[in-house]
Amino acid sequence: MSEANECLFCKIIAGEIPSNTVYEDDSTIAFSDIHPKAKVHVLIVPKKHYANVAELAEQDSHELSHMVGIAKSIADKEFHGAYRLIFNTGEDAGQSVFHVHAHVLTGEVMAE
Ligand code: 5GP
Ligand code: ZN
């Protein structure tokens, strides 16, 4: 697959599809989820295409820990450092975009 042509998040990273960007650096972007499941629902996405978190962990563990650091800084700003960090991995677990992304849910008290 030509990732830049076919992948939704590669298109957002390339600026071909608009997003509400809340953080960006050389390796990583974070933008609001289009269907928020919490008061603050941000997707943290490496700019390099990996299919899922397992692939990312094998190939670039530094980027994975960088994403966790970005999640913390978003939650520090939005909700005194409290947050949920979710990686849906595989279609049967609810993954619908096969470019690794962390869901950060924060900004309000979460139900169990
Ligand atoms: P997944 O289901 O793969 O874990 O998460 C994909 C997420 O991407 C979903 O929560 C969905 O709402 C979000 N999403 C899908 N299309 C778009 C889009 O065009 N823009 C943004 N900002 N989020 C999207
Ligand atoms: Zn991609």
Q: Which of 112, 30, 108 is nearest to 71 (CA)?
A: 30
Residues in the 5 Å CB sphere of ion ligand 2? 3, 7, 9-10, 49, 99
* Distance between Cα 110 and ligand 1 center (Å): 20
pLDDT grade, residue 95 (50/70/90)? very high
3-106 sits in which CATH class? alpha beta
The string of pLDDT tens digits covering residues 52-93 is: 999 999 999 999 999 999 999 999 999 999 999 999 999 999
**Choice from 41, 43, 85, 105 to test ligand 1 binding pocket (greatest atom count within 8 A of CB):** 43
Give the catalytic positions in this structure: 101
Can you give the pLDDT at residue 5? 66
Its ipTM equals 0.99
The string of pLDDT tens digits covering residues 37-56 is: 999 999 999 999 999 999 99
* Distance between Cα 101 and ligand 1 center (Å): 9
Residue 96: exposure state from Cβ atoms within 10 A (0-12, 13-18, ≥19): exposed
The string of pLDDT tens digits covering residues 7-23 is: 999 999 999 999 999 99
Model pTM? 0.96
- Cβ-based neighbours of 21, under 8 Å, separated by 6 or more: 29, 30, 31
Amino acid at 6: E
Q: How far apart are CA 75 and CA 99, in angstroms?
A: 23
Sheet containing 21-24: which strands, arranged edge to edge? 21-24, 28-32, 40-46, 102-106, 84-86
